[in-house]
Structures are given as C-alpha cells and as structure tokens.
Amino acid sequence: MTKHSFNQYAIHPVVKEIVDKLGFNEPTPIQQKVIPAALRGESLIGQSHTGSGKTHAFLLPLLNKLDENKAHVQCVITAPTRELATQIYDEVRKCIHHANKDERWKARLLIGGTDKKKAMEKLRDQPHIVVGTPGRILDMVKEEALDLHHANSFVLDEADLMLDLGFIEEVDQILVRANPNIQLMVFSATIPERLHPFLKKYLTNPTHIQIEDDKPAPELMEHRLVPLKHREPAEMIVRISEVIQPYLAIIFTNGKEHANKLARDLQAKGINAGILHGGLSPRERKRMLKELQNLRYQYIVATDLASRGIDIQGVSHVINAQLPKEEEFYIHRVGRTARAGMEGTAINLYTENDLPLIEKLEKKGLTFTFYDIKNKEWQEVKSYKERSTRKKTESDVEKQAWNMVKKPKKVKPGYKKKMKNQADRNKKKLKRESFRKKK
C-alpha cells in the first residue's frame, strides 16, 4: 500500500510548516485528491463525510497561492451558517499563526448578527481571505465595501445545506459580481437535483471527487432500531428518556415544522427540550447554543442543520424521531456522537417505510440491534427480517389451509362460518405436522 505524504505536493515551505505544526502526518483521502487539483487551479466538486479533513483540503492550497504583496481579496470561503463560518475562520487564523504571518496575511470573518458599520470600517484595508455567510458577504459587495473582482478562488462549503436553507441565490449573486474565471470549489455531502442548475451555470467540466467511506459511522457506536408501530414519537421518546441517562441527546426530525411540534409535545409531557433549526433567527440560535454549553438542556430537538452546520459538544445520544430519506444524512446525524474516541448510541424510531434506508445502511456495514421498551426496560425484539419471514410463512399456511377446505355444492345459511372453522382446523393441523417434522 502506497504511503502518502504532504511532501509529494508542490507546496511552499511556509505551508509545509503549517502542516507540521498542525500535527498532520499524512493526507486524508479527500486531501489526497483535492490538494493537487486545487494547486493546479482546477474548479472541482468534492463529496465526503464530516470529519474527513475537507477544510484543510481547500485551505492549504489557498494559502499556498496567497500573495501577501497584493492588497486585495484573493479567496472567498462561504458557509451556510454563522457557526460553521466561524469554525472555518478559526482554522484560517490558526494556520496564519502557525505560518508566523499574523501581521502579513489578512483574513476577515463576515457573518450576520454583527455590527454592519464596524464590518465596513474594517474592510477599508481589503483582506486577502474572506470567510463568511453569503448574506453578509453580498451585503458588503453591494455596499462596495468589499471588492471581489480580483479574487482567484471561491469555496462553497456544505452546498446542499446552503440550498436547503435558501442561500444558493445569494451565492449566485456574489459570483455574478466576481471574476468570471474564478476557481470554484464546491463541497457537499450530497448533490441533489436542485443543485444541478447552479453547478452547470458556474462549472464547466469540473473535477469530481467523491470519497467513499468504508466506515460510514463511528466504530464505538451502537445503532438501535425501535418500532414506532401505532405510537406517537413524543410518547416513545418519553419512554426512551426513562431508560437512558444522556449527557446530551439530539433528537432529529425531518423539517422545522416537525421539530416545533415534537418539542411542544415533549414539553407538554414534562421533558424540557431545547430546539434548533434553520427557522430560528441568528440571535435565537446563538442563545440556544450558549444554553447547551451551560448544560441547561439534556435534550434538544433539531433538524439536519445541527448535523453539519453547527458543532455541538458532548452529545452522548442521537435519537432519530424520524429517519432521514438519504443514507448520507443518517451518517451525518449519528456522527454528532461517538466523537474523539468516546462511545455513543443512536436510537432510531422506524416504520415499514424506513426499511429501504435501513437495508442500504446495512449493506454499507452498519449493524442494527432491535429493541422495544416495556415496563421501563429495554427488551430485545425480533428484527424486521424475522417478522417479515414469519408473516410470509403465516400467509403461506393460511393459503394452504383454505385450499384444503371443501366448498359446499349448495350454499346454505352459515356456510361462510363453517368454511372458516374448517380452514382454522386445517391451519392447526398443518402447524402440528410442521412442528413434528422439525422435531
């Protein structure tokens, strides 16, 4: 097996120093593919899971191309949420510090919820690197406080989340005002159909990089499936809360309307659950994250925004009140726990409609255990496969029993009841014979 090294890339000594100080020994699979393509100036689409090393896959080549003698914006990095933009900006600042370029390489964070006038004043000296959310960056461009005409690279991070939150139009407006030959690097966990028009508009024959993860979810993680049956999600989560002691549990739903309803239902049943989704204002999100850090909540109801757009520390359990439609979203959700070598548990409420997703995840190597909760205790139950096999056997016996029924030549009152009784006797007889054979 070929061992990869950062020495194989044509990077400047100062960038090599950053790599060394970050403690990177060898590039991750996404870095192995993205770094050489980005260094060549290629536009690209990169697909990989959370924790793959994607941020440094684009950061290192961008810093390698930076010309500190040119006092204009050279690269723009956009992210769908303030929290994610801040995380990327912190990594940029760390790299600048490791390069001993604190006074030479200028970077600015542009996000909503901050003083607009102060941001404009700070842009009197144009930075080399801009990191931010599309709305605030577009504001600064429209106010002519930010000039992107000379920028040679543009990164669109978490593009599918950007699309879901409705920010792709703002990215479009930024790019219309930028250098038409700009290098565009798009990173996304999934490439939904609705994203295709945008990609076609700005990318001609891009390099497409997709990293298939052999280990799609943390190894120290247990995946439990709990049948929802006729029960309400809030009722089941109350039962789950009686048998687990989470440090912090994220309860995922599909969409903010479901999240709002579930949070209300849980609060009505005595569970003080926080809520986090794209419908909250930046101020409300910031307040909620602060309350989570202060351990005010043990449970938080969230949408997929929290699976990638926001970093929440200390998650011990992930509860899927609704399973997502795509495998990638399941991977991102459960990836919020069992981090940094810690153990974690994913508890999934499921219906028959979720079986195709479960089967796909099993093919990827995930192992599910099957449980229900009775008398405030976990009870192992048969898997959906065993139940479906049993149903099929039952229906086969039923069919055979009815075939053995002698239909009357003349229909008399009560004939249907007599036929059913005969079918039931035949069914019992067939089961007895089957049991003897097995013995």
| pLDDT, tens digit (0-9, with 9 covering 90-100), for 83-101 | 889 889 999 999 999 999 9
Position 104, amino acid: R
The beta-strand segments (E) located in 212-248 are 221-227
Give the pLDDT score at 7: 85
Residue 79, C-beta contacts closer than 8 angstroms, at least 6 positions apart: 85, 88, 131, 132, 133, 157, 158, 309
**0.75 exceeded by the pTM?**
no
Task: Name which of 333, 339, 311 is nearest 87 in CA terms.
Answer: 311
pLDDT at 425 over 50: yes
Q: Angle of helix 54-65 relative to helix 82-98, nearest 10 degrees?
A: 50
Partner residues linked to 227 by β-bridges: 350
Give yes or no for a contact between 29 and 209, defined as CB atoms under 8 angstroms apart: no
Phi/psi for 162 (5° steps) reads -60, -40
Position 323, amino acid: L
Residue 252 burial by Cβ neighbours in a 10 Å radius (0-12, 13-18, 19+): buried
Percent over 70 (pLDDT), the chain: 83
Give the pLDDT score at 339: 52
The average pLDDT across 265-293 equals 87
pLDDT at 266 over 90: yes
Q: Give CA angle at 217 (211, 218), nearest 5°.
A: 120
| Chain length of the chain | 439
Give yes or no for a contact between 108 and 129, defined as CB atoms under 8 angstroms apart: yes
Q: Tens of pLDDT along 406-421?
A: 666 555 566 666 666 7
Give the pLDDT score at 269: 93
Give yes or no for a contact between 301 and 326, defined as CB atoms under 8 angstroms apart: no
Q: Half-sphere exposure of 149 toward its Cβ, with a 13 Å CA cutoff?
A: 4
Give the pLDDT score at 389: 46
Give the pLDDT score at 338: 56
More confident residue, 337 or 322: 322
**Cα distance between residue 347 and residue 322, in whole Å:** 10
Tokens linked to 381: 């139950």
Helix (H) or strand (E) holding 27, with range, is none
**Cα distance between residue 83 and residue 312, in whole Å:** 10
Residue 59, C-beta contacts closer than 8 angstroms, at least 6 positions apart: 88, 91, 92, 95
Residue 327 burial by Cβ neighbours in a 10 Å radius (0-12, 13-18, 19+): middle
Q: Are strands 207-210 and 153-156 parallel, antiparallel or unpaired?
A: unpaired
Partner residues linked to 252 by β-bridges: 302, 320
**Cα distance between residue 172 and residue 97, in whole Å:** 32
Q: Angle of helix 134-142 relative to helix 168-176, nearest 10 degrees?
A: 30
Q: How many helices (H) and strands (E) does the chain have?
A: 17, 15
pLDDT at 219 over 90: no
**Cα distance between residue 62 and residue 105, in whole Å:** 12
DSSP state of 353: G
SS3 at position 323? coil
More confident residue, 96 or 306: 96
Give yes or no for a contact between 298 and 248, defined as CB atoms under 8 angstroms apart: yes
Instruction: Please count the other Cβ atoms lying within 10 Å of the Cβ belonging to residue 113.
Output: 12
Q: Angle of helix 54-65 relative to helix 13-22, nearest 10 degrees?
A: 150
**Cα distance between residue 198 and residue 42, in whole Å:** 18
Q: Tens of pLDDT along 32-86?
A: 999 999 999 999 999 876 667 889 999 999 999 999 999 999 999 999 888 889 8
**Gyration radius of the chain over CA positions:** 28
Task: Name which of 41, 87, 329 is nearest 185 in CA terms.
Answer: 41
Give the pLDDT score at 410: 59
Phi/psi for 208 (5° steps) reads -105, 120
Tokens linked to 326: 């795509």
